[in-house]
Amino acid sequence: MIEISDITKLYKNENVEFLALKNVSFKINDGEFVAIMGPSGSGKSTLMHILGALDTPTSGRYLLDGQDVALLTEDELADIRKNKIGFVFQSFNLLPRASVIRNVYLPLVYSGVSKEERVRIAEEKLSATGLPETHFHHLSNQLSGGQMQRVAIARALINNPSLILADEPTGNLDTKTGDLILETFKKLNDAGHTIVLITHEPEVARHAKRIIHIRDGSILKDEILR
Amino acid sequence: MAIFDLLEEIYFALSANKIRSFLTVLGIVIGIGSVIAMVSIGQGAQGSIQSSIQSIGSNLVIVTPGAQRGVGVQVSAGRGSAQTLTQADADAIQKEISSIKQIAPELTRRYQITAKGQNTNTSITGTTPAYPEVRNIAVGEGSFIDAQQMASYSKVAVIGPTVRDDLFGQGAEALGQSIKINGVIFKIVGITQAKGGSGFNNPDDIVYVPLTTAQRFLAGDAYVTTISIEAQDQSSMASVQQQITILLLERHKISDPAAADFGVLTQADIVATASTVTSTFTILLASIAGISLLVGGIGIMNMMLTTVTERTREIGLRKAIGAKKRDINLQFLMEAITLTFLGGMIGVGLGWLLAYLVSLFAGIATSVSWSSVFLAFGVSAAIGVVFGYYPARRASQLNPIEALRYE
Ligand SMILES: Nc1ncnc2c1ncn2[C@@H]1O[C@H](COP(=O)(O)OP(=O)(O)OP(=O)(O)O)[C@@H](O)[C@H]1O
Ligand SMILES: [Mg+2]
C-alpha cells in the first residue's frame, strides 16, 4: 500500500531552483491499477522516482506498506526495490553492449537466481511483451525504440514485483503493441499486482481503474473509473 | 551476488573495452615481470658469488698485508700491495697457533712468461705443497710442487689450463716443456684441473712455482702476499682469526688493533661481505622495477576511475533494480583485482622468460625463487585492492537517481 501525504520536491542546483511537486497526497491500495496523467513537465517522473524509493521528497511523508521510507537504510531501500518494485523508466536505461536476455535477467542476478532459471524467466517475460524471439540475443543498442521499451518492460516484470511503476511504457509503441502491453498490465493487475502507469495520453489512461490528474506539481483531480 | 555471476559481469565489463584492459594489464605485466627478472638476476649473482667463494677452500682464514694506517692519516697504498707480511710471519703462525690444519703462504705477482715464442702475462704464485689442499685446487696431469722441490729452490712450475692453452695451444701436451718466467727458465711438472670461471680472477689462468724459488729468483725478497690457513673445523675459524691477529700485532709491534698493517679474514667474512653487496644490488634492482609496478598500479586506478565515470548510468540502473552498495563495490574492486592478478600471472611468466634469456645470452646466472613468484602474486593482488579501492568506493556511493540522470 502506498500512502503519501504532503509530499513536495524542490530541485535545487547551482543556478536553478524548481518546485516540481507541491503538497501532493494520495493513497493507492494493493491491487489498484492507477494512471497518473498530466502534461509534460508536470512532475510525473519525479513522483514515480519518489514512489519507487529511488529519490527522497524534500518534505512530506511516504509510507510504503506502512513503513516510513525516510527511516529506511540504503540497503533496506535496495531490498525493497529488488523484491517489491518493478520499474519501467521513461528512458529505458538498458545496459548498452549487453544482450537483451542479459538486460532482462539483470535484477535476478542480485537475488541470487541461477543462470538457467534466469534465462528461462527472461524468455517468458520477453515473450509476454511480444518481442520476436529472433531479437533475444541482440545487443540492446541494436534495437528500435519500441523494442527497447519492450525489453525495459520485460525487465520490470522479471522479479514478479507486487508494485509496477511504468513511466510512459507505451510512448514509443504503435497502437497494436501498445495494446498488447496494456493487456499484459491488465492481466498482472488481475493477478493482484499493483500497477502505477504514467502517461500523458487519455486513451492509455483509460485502461486504468483510476486516474490521478496532475498539473504543475499538484493534483488536479482523482478520478475513479471502475 | 554469486561468484560465478560476479565473474561473468567482470568478463563482460573488461571485454567491452579490450584494448584499454589490455594496456592496463600490460602496465602490471611489465612491473611484475621486471621485478621477477631483476630479483632473479640479483639472487643469481648472489648464488654464484657465494659458490665461487666456497670453491676457494673450506674453513679458510686468509691473512693479507695492508698499509699501516697512522691515526687520522690515510696512507695511499692499497691492501695487497703493501709489503708487511713475511715468510717469518707465516712460520710463526704455523708454529704458535693451535687448531690449524694446513698453512700455505704465497707470493703472487704478475710476470711476463714465454714459451716457444708465445708469450702471456699472468699471475705467478709462489707457494708451498699444502696450497692445493688449502685452496681446493686439483692437479690434473703430473703433480704439484713437493717439499723436496721447495727445499732445493727447484725451477719447476705447475700451470693452469688457460696458461697452457695460451702458450702451447688448446689442450696441447705441455708436461715436461720449459717456460720462461721473467727471463728464468722453469720446467712444467704439473697442470691443474680446470676450475672454470672468468674475468680477472680466473683460477685457471695462473702459474704455481715453489715459494722459495719465487722469493729468490723472481721477487728477490722474503715477503709474502697472502697466507692461506685451513682451520681444523668451522667452529675454530673465529679463534684462529683472533689468535693470528694477536700474534701478528705482537710481531709487528702494533698496540692498537685499528692500526694493524694486515688483515685477517675468514671465509665467512668474505661471504658475508659479498652477501651484503649482492643483496644491496638486488634491492636496488628490485626497487627500480618496483617503480614500474607502481606506475602500473596508477594505470589501474586511472582506468577504473574512467570506467566508473563512463558507467555512471549503469551503476545507477544497477542500484535502481536492487544492487546494494556492497554489490557495486565488490564488482568494481574485483574488476581491478582481476586486471592486476591477470597482469601478475603474465608478468611472472614474462619475468621467468626474461631471467632465462638473460642467463642464456648474457651468461649471468639467474634464479627465480618461488618466494618471489608468490610475492609477485600477492603484490599484484594488493595493488588491485589499493588502487581499485577508491574508484570502487566512488562507484558504490553514487546516488541512484543522480547516476541515472548522468550524461
Ligand atoms: N534534476 C532536476 N533538476 C532540476 N529540475 C528538474 C530535475 N528533474 C526534473 N526537473 C524539473 O521538474 C519538472 C518535472 O519534471 P518531470 O521529469 O517529473 O516531468 P514529467 O511530468 O515526467 O514530464 P514528461 O512527461 O515530459 O516526462 C520539470 O519542469 C523539470 O524541468
Ligand atoms: Mg517524465
**From ligand 2's centre to the CA of A55, what distance in Å?**
14
Closest ligand to A199 CA?
A: 1
Taking alpha carbons only, the member of A17, A143, A152, A134 closest to residue A87 is A152
Confidence of residue B117 (pLDDT cuts 50, 70, 90): confident
Q: Are B204 and B195 contacting, i.e. CB atoms less than 8 angstroms apart?
A: yes
**From ligand 2's centre to the CA of A149, what distance in Å?**
14
Taking alpha carbons only, the member of B262, B131, B147 closest to residue B212 is B147
pLDDT of residue B275: 84
Say yes or no to pLDDT of B321 above 70: yes
Alpha helix stretches (DSSP H) within B97-236: 131-134, 147-151, 161-168, 211-213
Between CA B341 and CA B16 the distance in angstroms is 19
**Sign for the pseudo-dihedral over CA of B211, B212, B215, B217:** negative
* Closest Cα to atom 18 of ligand 1: A43
Q: To the nearest whole number, what is the mean pLDDT of chain B?
A: 87
Confidence of residue A200 (pLDDT cuts 50, 70, 90): very high
pLDDT tens digits, A40-71: 999 999 999 999 999 999 999 999 999 999 99
Determine contact: B110 vs chain A, CB below 8 A: no
Say yes or no to pLDDT of B72 above 80: no
Determine contact: A89 vs chain B, CB below 8 A: yes
One-letter amino acid for residue B292 of the chain? S
Task: Give the length of chain A.
Answer: 226
Between CA B309 and CA B315 the distance in angstroms is 10
Determine the distance in angstroms separating the CA of B386 from the nearest CA of chain A, rounded to an integer.
25
Report the SS3 class of residue B231. Answer: strand
Q: Are A213 and A220 contacting, i.e. CB atoms less than 8 angstroms apart?
A: yes
Report the SS3 class of residue B2. Answer: coil
Backbone angles phi, psi at B205, to 5 degrees: -100, 70
**Total beta-carbon pairs less than 8 A apart between chain A and chain B:** 63
Residue of A7, A11, A218 with the most ligand 1 atoms within 8 Å of its CB, for mutation: A11
Say yes or no to pLDDT of B77 above 50: no
Say yes or no to pLDDT of B75 above 70: no
Contacts of B324 in chain A (CB under 8 A): 74-75, 78-79, 110
Say yes or no to pLDDT of B67 above 60: no
pLDDT of residue B374: 87
Domain A30-53+82-224, CATH among 3.40.50.720, 3.40.630.30, 3.20.20.370, 3.40.50.300 = 3.40.50.300
Say yes or no to pLDDT of B56 above 70: yes
pLDDT of residue B285: 86
Report the SS3 class of residue B223. Answer: strand
Q: Which residues surround ligand 2, an ion (CB under 5 A)?
A: A 45, 90
Say yes or no to pLDDT of B73 above 50: no
**From ligand 2's centre to the CA of B398, what distance in Å?**
22
Q: For the residues B285-308, what does the mean pLDDT come to?
A: 90
Nearest by CB to B321, which of A81, A112, A115? A81
Is the Cβ atom of A99 under 6 angstroms away from ligand 1?
no
Say yes or no to pLDDT of B336 above 50: yes
Say yes or no to pLDDT of B61 above 50: yes
Between CA B32 and CA B9 the distance in angstroms is 26
Q: Which residues 6+ apart lie within 8 Å of B199 measured at CB?
A: none
Say yes or no to pLDDT of B76 above 70: no
B46-55: Cβ within 8 A, 24+ apart:
B46/B274, B46/B275, B46/B278, B46/B279, B46/B282, B47/B365, B47/B367, B48/B365, B49/B274, B49/B278, B50/B271, B50/B274, B50/B275, B52/B197, B53/B267, B53/B270, B53/B271, B53/B274, B54/B267, B54/B271, B55/B136, B55/B195, B55/B203
Contacts of A97 in chain B (CB under 8 A): 12, 16
Strand-strand pairing, A33-37 and A194-199? parallel
Q: Which of these ranges, A90-104, A106-120, B56-70, B337-351, has the smallest mean pLDDT? A: B56-70
Cα A222 to Cα A163, A209, B192, B379, distances in angstroms: 20, 11, 112, 64
Between CA B265 and CA A181 the distance in angstroms is 94
Q: Which of these ranges, A101-110, B64-73, B212-221, has the smallest mean pLDDT? A: B64-73
Q: For the residues B336-353, what does the mean pLDDT come to?
A: 93
Is the Cβ atom of A153 under 6 angstroms away from ligand 1?
no
Between CA A200 and CA A198 the distance in angstroms is 7
Nearest CA in chain A to B7: A109
Provide the ipTM: 0.94
Between CA B140 and CA B189 the distance in angstroms is 11
B142: how many CB neighbours lie within 10 A of its CB? 16
pLDDT tens digits, B297-317: 999 999 999 999 999 999 999
pLDDT tens digits, B164-190: 988 988 878 889 999 999 989 999 999
Characterize B347-376 residue by residue with b for buried, 16 or more Cβ atoms within 10 angstroms of its Cβ, and e for exposed: bbebbbebbeebbeeeeebbbbeeebbebb
E-assigned strand segments in B128-231: 139-142, 156-159, 178-181, 184-192, 206-210, 226-231
pLDDT of residue B200: 53
Say yes or no to pLDDT of B112 above 80: yes
| H or E element in which residue B65 lies | strand B60-65
Alpha helix stretches (DSSP H) within B208-324: 211-213, 237-251, 267-310, 312-320
Determine the distance in angstroms separating the CA of B21 from the nearest CA of chain A, rounded to an integer.
16
Q: CB–CB of B5 and A109 under 8 A?
A: yes
Determine contact: B325 vs chain A, CB below 8 A: yes
Confidence of residue B79 (pLDDT cuts 50, 70, 90): very low
pLDDT of residue B197: 60
Q: Is B237 exposed, middle or buried (0-12, 13-18, 19+ CB in 10 A)?
A: buried
Largest CA distance in chain A: 50
For the question of whether the overall pTM of this predicted structure is more than 0.80, the answer is no
Report the SS3 class of residue B367. Answer: coil
Residue of A44, A54, A212 with the most ligand 1 atoms within 8 Å of its CB, for mutation: A44
pLDDT of residue B42: 86
Say yes or no to pLDDT of B69 above 80: no
Q: For the residues A185-196, what does the mean pLDDT come to?
A: 94
Determine contact: B401 vs chain A, CB below 8 A: yes
Between CA A149 and CA B404 the distance in angstroms is 16
C-alpha cell at B301: 586506478
Determine the distance in angstroms separating the CA of B279 from the nearest CA of chain A, rounded to an integer.
51
pLDDT tens digits, B241-282: 999 999 999 998 888 888 888 888 888 888 888 888 888 888
B108 DSSP β-pair partners: B125
| H or E element in which residue B100 lies | strand B100-115
Confidence of residue B331 (pLDDT cuts 50, 70, 90): very high
Confidence of residue B395 (pLDDT cuts 50, 70, 90): very high
Is the Cβ atom of A11 under 6 angstroms away from ligand 1?
yes
Nearest by CB to B314, which of A54, A95, A109? A95
Closest ligand to A12 CA?
A: 1
Q: For the residues B217-224, what does the mean pLDDT come to?
A: 87
Say yes or no to pLDDT of B71 above 70: no
pLDDT of residue A132: 92
Is the Cβ atom of A61 under 6 angstroms away from ligand 1?
no
Between CA B361 and CA A158 the distance in angstroms is 62
Q: For the residues B318-339, what does the mean pLDDT come to?
A: 94
Q: CB–CB of A81 and B320 under 8 A?
A: yes
B90-98: Cβ within 8 A, 24+ apart:
B90/B224, B90/B227, B92/B247, B92/B251, B93/B63, B93/B227, B93/B229, B93/B244, B93/B247, B93/B248, B96/B243, B96/B247, B97/B229, B97/B240, B97/B243, B97/B244, B97/B247, B98/B243
Say yes or no to pLDDT of B13 above 70: yes
Find which of B307, B321, B326 to mutate to test the A interface (most A CBs within 10 Å of its CB): B321
Percent of chain B at pLDDT exceeding 70: 95
List the domain boundaries for chain B.
3-51+273-404, 85-260
